[in-house]
Homo-oligomer: A and B are copies of this chain.
Amino acid sequence: MAGYVNTIKDFKTKENPEFLAKVKELQPILHHKNLSPVNRIELKKTEDNSWLIHGRKGYMPEKKLVLQKDTPLCLEFPNHQVGYIRFFLDVVGSPLDAPVHLRIKLGEIVEELGEDTKDYHGWLSSSWLQEEYLHVDVVPGWVELPRRYAFRYLSLEILNQSLKYQIGITNITGKTVTSAEEEAVEELPADADPFIKEMDAAAVRTLRDCMQLVFEDGPKRDRRLWIGDLRLQALVNYYTFRNMELVKRCIYMFAGITGADGRVGACFYIEPKLQVDDTVLFDYSLFFISCLYDYYEVTKDKEFIAELWPTALRQIELSKERLGFGGILKDSGDWWCFLDWGDNLNKQAGAQGVFIYTVKQAIGLAKIVEDEKALEMLEELCRQLTSSALSRLWDGQQQVFVSGEMRQVSVVSQVWMLLAGILEDGAANKLIDRLLAGEIQLPLSTPYMYHYFVEALFQYGRREEAVKVMKEYWGGMLEKGADTFWELYNPADDDFSPYGSKVINSYCHAWSCTPSYFIRKYHLK
């Protein structure tokens, strides 16, 4: 996810000190590895204004490379990493009689090295671009870059130095950081399809690089916990790293600081202090229930569910307040619900789908904690929501769900209604056929929604088609050179960005890591 959606003015919060104490107890250990670039690379701008790696030469850390002013040294790491960068600078010639002024860029894709930052005009802040200007006063010596970066590529350029010396560089080193334990991930069966293996490796790497002190959405951009991403990361984590404590920690965060009315926020910060963002989204608040539900499915930890149940139930109560005439959620023109990127997407039907989907999960939780009163309310609510959806949002003539006053038809609405499970199997499968045939307008925008589409296919037993979609969509990223999965991917438009520039997109993004969940849960080969 990324921000700027439905910011609440004068947002008031309330805290649960017990939950926040748990958050601190569950702080994960961070693991580090040192690694070197594998290649020096040359970049070339193509005719369609993208950038290619034009040539590669092996990089040997001990071999001193002499940096030339205004000539970037570009390097490639073995794959996408999150962490810190250091290198050793040496003087060639006279002693350092003036500082070295360096520009360093880090990129998840080569475009981030090639493009000039001055040419960036996207609407997300350029402060996300990983570019540093550094003065080095003492050489020889180690230089450590000041921040944490997400990188597969690195460029170093001398902007100025004195005429008396030249600068040699050795031992360019990345120190990686993650709270994921790579050893915990089981290998896929030896006979698995190599493409499936590659997809799984990229998905696992994506999750690894997003697993820090929380499940971050993107280690390059946003670098924080969003509940929509958390839900998907947790699912993949259960089948890979199995770091249950990190999931608990994140759930405690969202329950530990909520809106004053008890609403779970959409996103959470941990620095300089634990703090919920003032962004509230209808679907994201409800996904708190999904997080709990999934966690129980894997751990059967009743005590934890009981502890968090009041927070979960509160999300249902608050969501009910948005119900309008005839049991349908009120629509509005603001960013009240996320669902997917897309300026024109109407959220009403999709939100209704999410509501039914999570009410059903809440029913499951109510049974676990044996909350009879809530169970009764939830079952009644589920019946009402379902019946309203079928009577008011299902267009019998077109045989699709429609959304909003303008009765918009979108893939997002269909997918969430399918996941809500309110159609009979026959009708559902016919709708799926039409989705697969591309007959429904307003396609999906993000890997996040593609996840839910694939989930729906599995839910209705459409395993083969699910694998096909995965191979086309996530496989498409691999074919374009990805080694972690991207925040955004439009097979029809390589330059797609909702932010106005490709270089600000995140190329290792949590909500895109779910192929490993499908591969491992459904034993895909």
Contact = CB atoms under 8 A, between A and B. Distances in A.
Interface of A: 3-4, 7, 94-101, 123-128, 132-135, 137-141, 146-147, 159-164, 221-224, 269, 271-272, 275, 277-279
Given A4-B163, A98-B221, A99-B128, 9 more contacts: A7-B164, A98-B128, A99-B127, A124-B162, A125-B160, A125-B161, A126-B160, A137-B223, A137-B271
A99 B148 CA distance: 12
Contacts of A95: 269, 275, 277-278
A124 B160 CA distance: 10
B135 A147 contact: yes
A125 to B, nearest CB: 4
Contacts of A7: 94, 164
Contacts of A275: 95
A134 B135 CA distance: 12
14 contacts: A4-B163, A4-B164, A94-B277, A95-B278, A96-B269, A99-B127, A101-B125, A101-B127, A123-B163, A124-B162, A125-B161, A134-B146, A135-B146, A141-B272
Which 5 pairs from chain A and chain B are nearest by CB?
Answer: A101-B127, A133-B133, A98-B125, A99-B127, A127-B160
A224 to B, nearest CB: 8
A100 B164 CA distance: 36
Contacts of A160: 125-127
Contacts of A139: 272
A46 B323 CA distance: 65
Interface centre among A94, A133, A139, A279 (most CB of B within 10 A): A94
Nearest to A126: B160
Contacts of A164: 3-4, 7
Contacts of A146: 134-135, 146
A484 B161 CA distance: 27
A137 B161 CA distance: 29
B126 A162 contact: no
A96 B7 CA distance: 13
A161 B4 CA distance: 13
B126 A137 contact: no
Contact of A135 (B96, B124, B127, B271): B127
A221 B162 CA distance: 12
A164 to B, nearest CB: 6
A135 to B, nearest CB: 6
Contacts of A98: 3, 124-125, 127-128, 221
Contact of A271 (B3, B138, B159): B138
Contacts of A133: 132-133
A138 B272 contact: yes
A96 B271 CA distance: 9
Nearest to A273: B140
A166 B127 CA distance: 14
Contacts of A269: 95-96
A119 B473 CA distance: 48
Contacts of A271: 137-138
Contact of A94 (B94, B221, B278): B278
A163 B124 CA distance: 8
Interface centre among A99, A100, A222, A224 (most CB of B within 10 A): A99
A287 to B, nearest CB: 19
Nearest to A99: B127
Interface centre among A95, A159, A163, A271 (most CB of B within 10 A): A95
A160 B101 CA distance: 22
A277 B126 CA distance: 42
A314 to B, nearest CB: 22
